[in-house]
Amino acid sequence: MSVSMPKRSFDWLPVAAAALLLVGCAKAPDTSAVDAKKDAAGREAYERIGCGRCHGSLSGGGGQAPNLSKVGADPQHTVTWLADHIRTPQTHTPNSAMTAYGDQISDADLDALSAMLSRMK
Ligand code: HEC
């Protein structure tokens, strides 16, 4: 015969743990998942649009145009600068041989490409 312990009416531990977790999440929002999604979209756009025809591979370069694998390391190369360059390279490089994508590129592709390139460091 066993003596059963009186049952506790409420267990606070999981509640406290959940509350701490929520506070922790609110304090430090994790943007890495969003970044990863954008990077994937940017890489997909890079392939689909054919930037690699001139720039080669994103990781290794190998094209006739500059290697972009470290393009985000230059502090001048902000997301806005990159987006401007993709739409109108001639604003930064007057005699640029790069295609001016202008209105040919969608806002979503431009956004993803610029964000992804800014993180290529
Ligand atoms: C027809 C060839 C060609 C294509 C296609 C092309 N580029 Fe370029 N790109 C160049 C050349 C040449 C340069 C160097 C001259 C300049 O700065 O504009 C360049 C420069 C750049 C730069 C600036 C690099 C730096 O370090 O200053 C970025 C960023 C860039 N390209 C992104 C892209 C992206 C993104 C695409 C696709 C949407 C693309 N390019 C498609 C030829 C091309």
**32 Cα–ligand 1 center, Å:** 27
pLDDT at site 14? 77
- Ligand 1 site, residue 47, Cβ cutoff 6 A: no
Strands (E), the chain: 56-57, 61-62
Which of 39, 46, 47, 51 has the most ligand 1 atoms within 8 A of CB, as the residue to mutate? 51
Residue 120 is which amino acid?
M
**11 Cα–ligand 1 center, Å:** 60
Residue numbers in the chain where pLDDT is lower than 70: 1-9, 20-29
Domains parsed from the chain with CATH numbers: 32-118 (1.10.760.10)
Long-range contacts of 12-16 (CB under 8 A, 24+ apart): none
Residue partners of 116: CB distance under 8 A and separation at least 6: 38, 39, 41, 42, 43, 46
pLDDT tens digits for range 24-46: 666 666 788 889 999 999 999 99
